[in-house]
Amino acid sequence: MPHAELKFSNDLEIDHKAILSDIEATILKHDAGAGICKGRAYPCDRYLHTHLLVEVSILPKAHRDDAFCKALLSDLEAAIKARIEQSCAFSLELRFSGAYYVTNEHQVAE
């Protein structure tokens, strides 16, 4: 279950839901078994320059090698930038979750 976080200056007018949906779709295009992508957006009202920082975390798996990561990173950058309609500093990081990371579902009986 990947994670995506958008951290951006609040003067940057973006459709965070569309970007997060595009991130999920792009990950699934590269790895159909990745599952849903938990996405969050954090606008910031205290900043120096207009910017967007995108951090995407995935679990390490044998097929997610260097070629996979480079292709995914390139497609993520293109998909995200296609949604940005104003100039800004842009940063994107693709990283692997650590060895002691747990991800699953918590269900409460109704």
The closest alpha carbon to 72, from 39, 17, 31, belongs to 31
Q: Per-residue confidence at 6, pLDDT binned at 50, 70, 90?
A: very high
Amino acid at 75: D
Which residues, including other chains, have CB under 8 Å from residue 107's CB and lie 6 or more apart? none
* Four-point Cα dihedral 104, 106, 38, 100, nearest 10: -40
Strand partners, 42: 7
Q: The pTM is what?
A: 0.92
Top-confidence residue, 74 or 100: 74
Domain 3-96 has CATH 3.30.470.20: no
What is the per-residue pLDDT across 9-59, written as a single tens digit (0 to 9) for each? 999 999 999 999 999 999 999 999 999 999 999 999 999 999 999 999 999
What is the C-alpha separation between 100 and 110, in angstroms, rounded?
31
Which amino acid is present at 5? E
Domain chopping of the chain, boundaries: 3-96
H helix count then E strand count, the chain? 2, 4
